[in-house]
């Protein structure tokens, strides 16, 4: 299901996806919190009629798309992976990105499970169950867009839409062997998406190819989809930020990344090490007393954490409450420092086309091994470390699956220059072709 077959009707592909969800039994219910079988059939049939009449409305027409359970769908509660919002008032209208998907002819198959309120990169959910990794059901799916990643990797959807505040699109993509794209924040409206952080939330696709990521990004951004410009690996200026973001990495991850870097260099890319820790380490230094995400989550949840604390995942509740301890002066100070850091990193990247590094330094650990809170928090911090840096710096970032045998997945992250989302996707397509990761 990596590419739409023009001779396979959308309704046939939809029925196959629905059958996979049903066949997965309880696991299917952990991947999807809602399945829209009837409305999806209507949309698929309508797409097939358009295609038959030569009136397809774009590259997503008839594609099978899953949406994360934090997007509003008119007439139903948006639970955002929580028990607390099970009985919330139904949404009055679709989230803007959901409306754009429908207008583009996408067949929305269902809502996917997620970490409660999107506040973890591990993917555990005590309320709706935890979907197992698509490559090994005993391992974590990655979060917070957990069901999104698993749904695409298990071919229950062709494309999924997630949110990414500190890596929540890229982490599950990396751990499930997918392409995942985080745009610059202003590119895609978040209207109708339940927030985690007002200044860091972004919305993007999880899918099987960069071409699908680019087409989906255009629809989400409200831009007319166009073919990506052709780029070649030869001559690409790729910086490797060795140091902090390569530390604590497992040998299997480093080995796969080094092999990819060698292959790119062999194909004519200019691959060079960069010393950037003085900037890339600043998000962690600045947020030692508390993070921007936690502080904003504390404001969003200010009423519920006091009136209904027992309904939260205790680990998520603890992280939100830590955000309550960040004083206003420190919050403003972090924002001011961030405003100065963004152009500083921009200046250091002017002679590069992209940074290249591991998306996450770990292979997916076993679900059973991260149950203790201390282990969970340590694992979560390590999973979020590399992706979250580029949310802080608001740079577009793309993860590509590296070739593997029968083992677990490793992701290679490409980070573009500010505002160069389409260029990054074009470079990513060239790297994808070279590495054979698609």
CA distance 191 to 91: 12
Token code pair at residue 352: 């590069």
Nearest to 241 by CA among 343, 391, 390: 390
Write down the catalytic residue from 47, 168, 209, 437. Answer: 168
Beta-carbon contacts of 428 under 8 Å, excluding residues fewer than 6 positions away, are 179, 210, 213, 398, 400, 414
CA distance 420 to 301: 34
CA dist list (Å): 19 to 15, 28, 157: 6, 10, 11
Look at residue 74 and give its three-state secondary structure.
Answer: coil
Please say if 5 is a catalytic residue: no
Nearest to 99 by CA among 175, 49, 161, 37: 161
Look at residue 64 and give its three-state secondary structure.
Answer: strand
Please say if 82 is a catalytic residue: no
Per the CB < 8 A criterion, the answer to whether 135 and 41 are in contact is no
> H-type helices in 270-402, by residue range?
277-280, 282-286, 292-300, 304-307, 314-323, 328-348, 373-392
Handedness of CA 185, 362, 161, 208 (dihedral sign): positive
Please say if 138 is a catalytic residue: no
Look at residue 154 and give its three-state secondary structure.
Answer: coil
Write down the catalytic residue from 47, 144, 151, 173. Answer: 144
Chain-centre distance of CA 215, in angstroms?
A: 16
CA distance 66 to 150: 11
Write down the catalytic residue from 10, 68, 145, 173. Answer: 68
Catalytic residues, by residue number, are 68, 144, 168
């Amino acid at each position: 299901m990596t590419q739409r077959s023009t001779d396979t009707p959308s309704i046939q592909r939809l029925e196959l996806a629905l059958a996979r969800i049903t066949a997965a039994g309880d696991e299917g219910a952990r991947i999807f919190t809602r399945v829209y079988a009837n409305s999806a059939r209507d949309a698929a049939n309508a797409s097939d009629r358009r295609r038959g009449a030569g009136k397809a409305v774009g590259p997503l027409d008839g594609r099978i798309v899953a949406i994360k359970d934090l997007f509003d769908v008119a007439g139903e509660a948006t639970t955002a992976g929580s028990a607390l919002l099970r009985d919330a008032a139904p949404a009055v209208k679709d989230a803007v990105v959901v409306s754009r998907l429908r207008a583009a002819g996408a067949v929305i198959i269902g809502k996917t499970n997620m970490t409660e309120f999107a506040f973890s990169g591990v993917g555990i959910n005590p309320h709706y169950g935890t979907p197992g990794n698509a490559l090994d059901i005993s391992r974590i799916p990655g979060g917070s867009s957990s069901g999104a990643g698993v749904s695409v990797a298990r071919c229950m959807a062709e494309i999924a839409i997630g949110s990414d505040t500190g890596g929540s699109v890229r982490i599950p993509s990396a751990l499930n062997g997918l392409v995942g794209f985080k745009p610059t924040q202003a590119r895609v409206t978040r209207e109708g998406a339940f927030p985690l952080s007002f200044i860091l939330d972004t919305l993007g696709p999880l899918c099987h190819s960069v071409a699908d990521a680019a087409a989906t990004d255009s629809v989400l951004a409200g831009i007319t989809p166009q073919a990506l410009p052709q780029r070649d690996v030869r001559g690409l200026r790729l910086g490797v930020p060795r140091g902090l973001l390569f530390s604590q990495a497992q040998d299997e991850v480093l080995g796969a990344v080094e092999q990819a870097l060698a292959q790119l260099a062999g194909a004519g890319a200019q691959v060079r090490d960069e010393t950037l820790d003085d900037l890339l380490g600043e998000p962690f230094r600045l947020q030692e007393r508390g993070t921007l995400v936690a502080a904003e989550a504390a404001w969003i949840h200010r009423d519920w954490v006091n009136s209904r604390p027992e309904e939260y995942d205790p680990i998520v509740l603890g992280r939100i409450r830590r955000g309550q301890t960040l004083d206003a002066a420190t919050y403003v100070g972090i924002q001011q420092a961030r405003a100065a850091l963004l152009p500083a990193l921009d200046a250091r990247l002017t002679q590069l086309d992209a940074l290249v590094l591991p998306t996450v330094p770990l292979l997916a650990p076993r679900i059973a091994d991260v149950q203790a809170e201390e282990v969970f928090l340590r694992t979560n911090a390590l999973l979020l470390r590399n992706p979250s840096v580029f949310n802080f710096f608001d740079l577009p970032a793309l993860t590509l699956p590296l070739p593997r045998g029968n083992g677990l997945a490793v992701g290679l992250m490409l980070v573009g220059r500010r505002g160069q989302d389409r260029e990054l996707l074009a470079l990513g397509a060239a790297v994808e072709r070279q590495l054979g990761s698609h």
